[in-house]
A = this chain, B = another copy of it.
Amino acid sequence: MQATTDFKLDSWVEIPANSDFPIYNLPLGIIKHKNGTISATTAIGQYVLDLSVLHRLAYFKEIALPVGIFEKTSLNDFMALGKPVWKLVRQRLMVLLTRDNPELRDNKDVVVQSLFKSSDVEMLMPVQVGDYTDFYSSKEHATNIGLMIRDPKNALLPNWLHLPVAYHGRASSIIVSGHDFHRPKGQVTPPGINEPSFSPSKAMDFELEMAFVIGKSTTLGQSVPTSKADDYIFGMTLFNDWSARDIQRWEYVPLGPFLAKNFASTISPWIISTEALEPFRIKAPEQNPEVLPYLERSREDCSFDITLEVWLQAENSEAMKICTSNYKYLYWTMDQQLAHHTINGCNINIGDLMASGTISGPTPDSFGSMMELTWNGSKPIILPNGQERKFLQDGDTVIIKGYCQKDNIRIGFGEAKAKVLPTL
């Protein structure tokens, strides 16, 4: 059921060229209908298919699914059914949507009840996030930040090549794409000054990230080896770890970022299964020095070739692509991140979110934050309307997009989009 070059699967639902959501993708998300009902769905072309309707009408009768499993406000209970069930549901959706299968296609009543234009529904948070962890796994990003704010001769700190550095983030303020937020205020200092003033942040930034969702829990004391990490990963999303650099600079010693990050983080609404991503596996960067045995990668091709883009749209201006990066640049891979996170016995729960950290590539146009793109404000970005940007202004919208492409098959992630509103 995976994308290959030999065989091309089509759907009876019309799918525009370059759609993020061909029949090979079938991501899962939570929608709210105009009448207020909430249900789990998949995306197909410019439509969403309501799984709760299909389930009520026995389209999943061959799979042991609890009553009402697709009527929840998150995918957590569905994830708890386990990977074999995730796969069966995905396979069944693929069969139901295949061009030649009349089962759903010719049942016009059911199609009317279950297939909706994407523009007619509201996307909600796909999962209830328990704990959210943010890694710092791009060598290029960590090096750039080190060059700018620490000792340029020792841009990477001594631990960085030995372990995937991470910190705990705030789960409550993760918001789904399309929800704008207010610029944070707080204590800021100019660089080098140790007397704070109170102000809206003057150095609002985005961070281009991806995240994976935990679909299987562990108990306290248990560790997940890299070779088993796949069993625990439900799928992936786009992620924007909004950052207020001037708040961060002042507050972050010695315990890490806090108010500089926890005012908002934006997640894309569709979770792309690791199955859909299988054809896009790729080698991750070589690691030197050698890692400790518990961090040895599970396989050769343990990363994914996912093109990532950041678009900036000021008010009264066209959107402009300001960054093109790729997930494959990450030095630390998901299996390593998960093995590290649990090596001390830390338990993980269904719905936990693990973000990658800013994904910067090797070239200046692939840097994943304003701070890097403008080199700490020294090289402003010129927008289509002629304005300059060192950091984000009120009214600026940042849109993160991502997709895999191979042999005319494209698996897209949709987008993680939000606008910076003025401070409340």
Contacts and interface: CB of A to CB of B under 8 A. Distances in A.
A345 B185 CA distance: 8
Nearest to A421: B221
A341 B262 CA distance: 9
Contacts of A131: 170-172
B181 A346 contact: no
B262 A346 contact: yes
A184 B344 CA distance: 4
A344 B198 contact: no
Contacts of A287: none
Interface residues of A, number: 61
A220 interface: yes
A173 B131 CA distance: 10
A166 interface: yes
A190 interface: no
A130 interface: yes
Given A157-B253, A259-B340, A292-B198, A170 B173 contact: no
A239 interface: no
B292 A344 contact: no
A175 to B, nearest CB: 7
Contact of A169 (B168, B185, B424): B168
A331 interface: no
Given A172-B131, A254-B256, A424 B221 contact: yes
A131 B132 CA distance: 9
A147 to B, nearest CB: 13
A158 interface: yes
Interface in A152-198: 157-159, 162-163, 165-173, 175, 181-182, 184-187, 194, 196, 198
A255 interface: yes
A346 B256 contact: no
Interface stretch (A12-20, A69-77, A244-252, A389-397): A244-252
B254 A157 contact: yes
B345 A181 contact: yes
A74 to B, nearest CB: 14
A24 interface: no
B194 A158 contact: yes
A177 to B, nearest CB: 15
Interface in A283-308: 292-294
B170 A346 contact: yes
A343 B259 contact: yes
A166 B198 CA distance: 18
Contacts of A167: 167-168, 255-256, 258
Contacts of A181: 220-221, 345
Interface stretch (A25-33, A79-87, A347-355, A363-371): A347-355
B344 A186 contact: yes
Contacts of A343: 185-186, 259
12 contacts: A150-B254, A165-B251, A167-B256, A168-B258, A172-B352, A175-B220, A221-B424, A244-B344, A256-B256, A256-B257, A259-B340, A262-B344
Interface of A: 130-131, 136, 150, 157-159, 162-163, 165-173, 175, 181-182, 184-187, 194, 196, 198, 220-223, 244, 247, 250-259, 262-264, 292-294, 340-341, 343-349, 352, 424
